[in-house]
C-alpha cells in the first residue's frame, strides 16, 4: 500500500448531493489509483444542524454509488477533546487569544464596514488585550471566543495547488479567525486540521470554495508544527444559471437520491459526474470502474467551473430531459450495453417497487424475462422506462398512448375489423416464432390488400400501447400468443 491517504468529510446537514458525490468520487479515485486509503469522516461539530438521518442518507448514497471507504465513518464529535487540547495549546503558546467581542458587536461592525465600503474582516481589537484586562473580563463573566493569531509578517503565505498552481496570500490580509466558540466548542477550521493530522491525510481534494480556508489552515499546520498535506482544489459545479449548486436552493434535483429514484444506474452517474471538470488526454468518455481508476489523474482536473445542465424548471412536467442530457445519454448507454444479468437486478428492484414483479421471473420465466428486457432496452434512458414504456410486456393493464392510437388505429378504420380477423388467424397457429409470424402477417396483408406497415403499426399499438418499439414480430413473440390474440381480438372496444 502506498502512503496516499485521502478523506471525504461531509457534514450531515442533508442528503448527499451532486457536489459532494463528485468530491467523494475524485478522492476515492485518487486513493484507488495509488493504492491508498479512502477515509470517511462525518463532520458533525455543528450539532444543531447535524442529523442522524442525513448521516444514514450520506452513507447510503456513497454505498449506492459504489464508493467504498477503507476507514470510518469517523465522527468528528468523538475527537472533541483532541480539538480542545489543540486550541488550549495554541492559547498557551501565545498563538491564539481570547476575544470578548460579542456577536452583535461584530455584526454591527461588519455592516458598517460594508456600508463604508471597507473590508469586512475582524479588526483584531482583542488581540492586544493585556493579561490583566483578559482576567478582568473573564471575572465579569463576559463570554469569549478563541481566535487564532495570524503572524505579523511581511510577505505572503502560499502553497502549490495541484490543479491551480501556486496560490499565495499576504499575511496582512488574513484576519484573526475564530477557532473555538464562546460555548467552548471548536470550529471546523481547527477540527478539520487536527483530524487530518491524526488521520495522516496526505492529499486534500476539495472544492474551490475552500480556498480561503486552505490559507488559514496552512497557518494552523504551521502553528501545530506539522507538514501540511498536498492540496488540490477542484472546480465547482454550477447550475444552468451558473450558481453554485446547493441543497438549499436547488432541492432534490441535485441529490444523489433523486437520480437513484429516477432510474439511474449508479455507475452511469459516477461516469457522468467524473466528466464534469475532468478529462483524459485522449478525451475518452465511457469508462468501466477499472478503466476509470487506471485513467484517473489530478492533472486531468480542469480549472474552470462547469455547468451541470439539469432542468431547474421541471415542475413534474414530463419533459424529454429531466436532467442533463449527457447524463441521460450515458445512463442510456450503460442501460443498453451492460450485461443483461446485471441489468436484471436493477429492473427487478424497480419492478418490485412498481408491483410488476412476479416470482417466476427468477426461475422458470427468467430466460424469457432476460430476453425481453434485452429486446426493449435499446430505446430506454432510465430503469424506470421498463415499467413505464415496457409495461405491456409484463402486465395486461397498460395504457395506450394517445398519439399512437390516433396515428396507427383511428386513421385506419379498417383495422377495427382486420385485427380481430388476424387474431383468429393467429389463434390457429401451432407454433409461434418470428419467421412464421412474419410470413403469416404479410400473407394476411396481401390477401386483404392492406399495406403491411398499417397492420404492423396497428398491432404494435394494440399489443404494446406504444408508438414505437422493437420489431413487431419480436414483440409478438415476447408478449406471447395468448396475450397477443386476446389484445387483437379486443380491439372492438
Return the active site residues. 247
Region 6-25 residues binding RNA, contact defined as CB under 7 A? 9-11
One residue of 64, 75, 171, 188 binding RNA per CB under 7 A: 188
One residue of 51, 72, 82, 213 binding RNA per CB under 7 A: 213
483 binds RNA (CB under 7 A): no
One residue of 51, 297, 305, 311 binding RNA per CB under 7 A: 305
145 binds RNA (CB under 7 A): yes
One residue of 307, 395, 405, 450 binding RNA per CB under 7 A: 307
- Minimal distance, residue 407 CB to RNA, in Å: 8
Instruction: Please state, in angstroms and rounded to a whole number, the distance separating the CA atoms of residues 6 and 24.
Output: 10
- Minimal distance, residue 219 CB to RNA, in Å: 14
141 binds RNA (CB under 7 A): no
114 binds RNA (CB under 7 A): yes
Q: Which stretch binds RNA (CB under 7 A): 24-32, 96-104, 223-231, 425-433?
A: 96-104
3-state secondary structure the chain: CCCCEEEECCCCCCCCEHHHHHHHHHHHHHHHHCCCEEEEEECCCCCCCCCHHHHHHHHHHHHHHCCCCCEEEEEHHHHHHHHHHHHHHHHHCCCEEEECCCHHHHHHHHHHHHHCCCCCCCCCCCCCCCHHHHHHHHHCCCCCEEEECCCCCCCEEEEEECCCEEEEEEHHHCCCCEEECCCCCECHHHHHHHHHHHCCCCEEEEEHHHHHHHHHHHHHHHHCCCCCCEEEEECCEECCCCCECCHHHHHHHHEHHHHHHCCCCHHHHHHHHHCCCECCCCCCCCCCHHHHHHHCCHHHECCCCEECCCCCCCCCCCCCCCCCHHHHHHHHHHHHHCCHHHHHHHHHHHHHHCCCCCHHHHCCCHHHHHHHHHHHHHHCCCCHHHHHCCHHHHCCCCCCCHHHHHHHHHCCCCHHHHHHHHHHHHHCCCCCCHHHHHHHHHHHHHHHCCCHHHHHHHHHHHHHCCCCCCCHHHHHHHHCHHHHHHHHHHHHC
Instruction: Please state, in angstroms and rounded to a whole number, the distance separating the CA atoms of residues 100 and 111.
Output: 19
297 binds RNA (CB under 7 A): no
Q: Which stretch binds RNA (CB under 7 A): 4-12, 28-36, 196-204, 484-492?
A: 4-12
Instruction: Please state, in angstroms and rounded to a whole number, the distance separating the CA atoms of residues 111 and 210.
Output: 24
Comparing CB distances to RNA, the nearer of 113 and 425 is 113
- Minimal distance, residue 222 CB to RNA, in Å: 19
- Minimal distance, residue 123 CB to RNA, in Å: 11
411 binds RNA (CB under 7 A): no
Comparing CB distances to RNA, the nearer of 35 and 151 is 151
212 binds RNA (CB under 7 A): yes
How many CA atoms within 13 Å lie on the side-chain side of 45?
24
236 binds RNA (CB under 7 A): yes
Comparing CB distances to RNA, the nearer of 164 and 298 is 164
One residue of 2, 3, 35, 49 binding RNA per CB under 7 A: 49
- Minimal distance, residue 39 CB to RNA, in Å: 14
Q: Which stretch binds RNA (CB under 7 A): 61-69, 115-123, 414-422, 481-489?
A: 115-123
96 binds RNA (CB under 7 A): no
Question: Are 73 and 24 contacting, i.e. CB atoms less than 8 angstroms apart?
Answer: no
Comparing CB distances to RNA, the nearer of 202 and 408 is 408
One residue of 85, 103, 365, 366 binding RNA per CB under 7 A: 103
446 binds RNA (CB under 7 A): no
101 binds RNA (CB under 7 A): yes
Region 460-479 residues binding RNA, contact defined as CB under 7 A? 460, 467-474
- Span between the terminal Cα atoms of the chain, in Å: 70
Comparing CB distances to RNA, the nearer of 267 and 361 is 267
Q: Which stretch binds RNA (CB under 7 A): 83-91, 95-103, 132-140, 356-364?
A: 95-103
Comparing CB distances to RNA, the nearer of 120 and 340 is 120
Comparing CB distances to RNA, the nearer of 209 and 291 is 209
One residue of 55, 95, 129, 164 binding RNA per CB under 7 A: 164
173 binds RNA (CB under 7 A): yes
Comparing CB distances to RNA, the nearer of 23 and 357 is 23
Amino acid at each position: 500500500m502506498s502512503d496516499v491517504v485521502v478523506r471525504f468529510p461531509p457534514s450531515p446537514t442533508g442528503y448527499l448531493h451532486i457536489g459532494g458525490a463528485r468530491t467523494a468520487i475524485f478522492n476515492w479515485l485518487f486513493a484507488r489509483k495509488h493504492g491508498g486509503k479512502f477515509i470517511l469522516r462525518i463532520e458533525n461539530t455543528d450539532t444543531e444542524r447535524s442529523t442522524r438521518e442525513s448521516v444514514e442518507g450520506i452513507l447510503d448514497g456513497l454505498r449506492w454509488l459504489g464508493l467504498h471507504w477503507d476507514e470510518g465513518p469517523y465522527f468528528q464529535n468523538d475527537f472533541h477533546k483532541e480539538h480542545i487540547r489543540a486550541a488550549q495549546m495554541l492559547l498557551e503558546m501565545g498563538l491564539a487569544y481570547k476575544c470578548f467581542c460579542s456577536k452583535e458587536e461584530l455584526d454591527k461592525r461588519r455592516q458598517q464596514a460594508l456600508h463604508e465600503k471597507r473590508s469586512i474582516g475582524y479588526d483584531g481589537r482583542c488581540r492586544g488585550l493585556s493579561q490583566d484586562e483578559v482576567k478582568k473580563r473573564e471575572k465579569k463573566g463576559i463570554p469569549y471566543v478563541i481566535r487564532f493569531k495570524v503572524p505579523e509578517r511581511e510577505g505572503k503565505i502560499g502553497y502549490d495547488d495541484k490543479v491551480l498552481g501556486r496560490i499565495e496570500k499576504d499575511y496582512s490580509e488574513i484576519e484573526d479567525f475564530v477557532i473555538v466558540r464562546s460555548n467552548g466548542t471548536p470550529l471546523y477550521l481547527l477540527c478539520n486540521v487536527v483530524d487530518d493530522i491524526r488521520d495522516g491525510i496526505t492529499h486534500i481534494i476539495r472544492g474551490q470554495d475552500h480556498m480561503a480556508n486552505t490559507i488559514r489552515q496552512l497557518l494552523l499546520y504551521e502553528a501545530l508544527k506539522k507538514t501540511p498535506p498536498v492540496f488540490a482544489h477542484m472546480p465547482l459545479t454550477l447550475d444552468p444559471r451558473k450558481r453554485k449548486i446547493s441543497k438549499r436552493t436547488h432541492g432534490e434535483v441535485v441529490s444523489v437520491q433523486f437520480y437513484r429514484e429516477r432510474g439511474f444506474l449508479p455507475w452511469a452517474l459516477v461516469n457522468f459526474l467524473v466528466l464534469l471538470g475532468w478529462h483524459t488526454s485522449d478525451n475518452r468518455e465511457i469508462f468501466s470502474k477499472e478503466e476509470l481508476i487506471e485513467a484517473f489523474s489530478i492533472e486531468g482536473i480542469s480549472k474552470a467551473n462547469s455547468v451541470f445542465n439539469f432542468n431547474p424548471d421541471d415542475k413534474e412536467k414530463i419533459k424529454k430531459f429531466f436532467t442533463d442530457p449527457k447524463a441521460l445519454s450515458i445512463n442510456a448507454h450503460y442501460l443498453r450495453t451492460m450485461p443483461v444479468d446485471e441489468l436484471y437486478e436493477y429492473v427487478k428492484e424497480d419492478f418490485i417497487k412498481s408491483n410488476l414483479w412476479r416470482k417466476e421471473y427468477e426461475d422458470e420465466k427468467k430466460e424469457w424475462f432476460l430476453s425481453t428486457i434485452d429486446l426493449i432496452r435499446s430505446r430506454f434512458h432510465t430503469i424506470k422506462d421498463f415499467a413505464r414504456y415496457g409495461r405491456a410486456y409484463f402486465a395486461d393493464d397498460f395504457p395506450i398512448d394517445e398519439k399512437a392510437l390516433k396515428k396507427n388505429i383511428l386513421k385506419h378504420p379498417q383495422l377495427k375489423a382486420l385485427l380481430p380477423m388476424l387474431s383468429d388467424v393467429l389463434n390457429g397457429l401451432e407454433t409461434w416464432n418470428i419467421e412464421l409470424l412474419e410470413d403469416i402477417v404479410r400473407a394476411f396483408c396481401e390477401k386483404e390488400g392492406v399495406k403491411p406497415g398499417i397492420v404492423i403499426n396497428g398491432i404494435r399499438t394494440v399489443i404494446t400501447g406504444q408508438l414505437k418499439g422493437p420489431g413487431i414480430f419480436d414483440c409478438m413473440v415476447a408478449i406471447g400468443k395468448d396475450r397477443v390474440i386476446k389484445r387483437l381480438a379486443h380491439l372492438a372496444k
